[in-house]
Amino acid sequence: MREADLPRGAPLFIGSYGVSPKLAARVHALPNARYAPMFHIQPGWFWERRRLDRPATRKLLARNPRSDRLAGPLPALEQLLRLPTATRVSWGAELGSRFRDALRAEAVADTWQLDEIVAECAGSQGAPYRELTRGVLRGLALGRPVLGDRTSRGLVWWAKTALVLPSRRLTPELTAFWRMLDRACLGLIGEEYPDFAGDPRAAARRAAVGHDRLRRGGPVRQSLARKYIAGLTPGFRLAPGLGGNTRRLPRAEAERWRATFLAVRGTAHVSGFAEFNFRFENSSARVIRELLSELAPLL
């Protein structure tokens, strides 16, 4: 990143899973860089219990004594999806607030990232997943005001298999989801993850379908469309669902394909680009340097 010839003033958001003061210091040493740790909704450490020190716990309970009922483990995901809507949203908000607890404890982050709006959100039985996600977004965006949290908008990743969601008929539940997403969202990252195969221009047009659906929606979805960021990977670490150089093209040819795809996407009203999975074959200095040289003219 230090060597990249990026435009002066182009904002960079960099983060990985969890909060790391050491990584935050390295990010903040870069020009125009913001540290944005990533959290995911799937069951794990944050599901186990609320982690606050005693003064913060007393302050929270003094304002809302009933909040103690959400201090323990979240219900198992299958059970959570069967609970009443209000209960499910409350547990989601608690989970998002636990993410904010981690950010508050270290006080090194500029914003956050959420992984992700899952494929199930767009399914025929997607309402419970959307309600859980809506709660998490509320907790992340609003935090716990009694503990000093201010509203913070972040970057939300949107699974490729969920990009059909804007075509769903609006219901009161879905309208509430779009409004909360727009309220919480600084940038909406569509995981396009193309295979480096065929005509890259045609692939770029196909990748824009989810974004185009947002642009054709009502005012809230159009607001989200203006925040849309095209998400890819460098393309050389192959994993299910992440696209990339699946046809094993020679590296120079694969890079030319990717550069053309990015250039076409850059003309289609995107507000930026996001890159995921800088691991193994995607982590070499040469790969990253070439990728950034392709992105620089588009920022």
Residues 153-167 pLDDT 10s: 999 999 999 999 999
Identify the CATH class of 16-298.
alpha beta
Helix (H) or strand (E) holding 14: strand 12-14
Q: Provide the pLDDT for residue 2.
A: 81
Q: Provide the pLDDT for residue 187.
A: 97
Tell me the Cα Rg of the chain: 20
Q: Is the peptide bond before 173 cis (omega within 30 degrees of 0)?
A: no
Delimit the domains of the chain by residue range. 16-298
The predicted model scores a pTM of 0.95
C-alpha to C-alpha distance for 51 and 71, rounded to whole angstroms: 8
Question: In the structure, what pLDDT confidence band is assigned to residue 3 with cuts at 50, 70 and 90?
Answer: confident
Residue 295 has pLDDT above 90, yes or no: yes
Per the CB < 8 A criterion, the answer to whether 268 and 204 are in contact is yes
Amino acid, single-letter form, for residue 96: G
* Mean pLDDT, the chain, whole residue set: 95
Report strand pairing: 33-35 vs 38-40: unpaired
Per the CB < 8 A criterion, the answer to whether 193 and 232 are in contact is yes
The number of beta carbons lying within 10 Å of the beta carbon of residue 255 is 21
Residue 276: C-alpha distances to residues 33, 42, 49, 279 (Å) = 16, 18, 29, 9
What are the pLDDT digits (tens) for 92-116?
Answer: 999 999 999 999 999 999 999 999 9
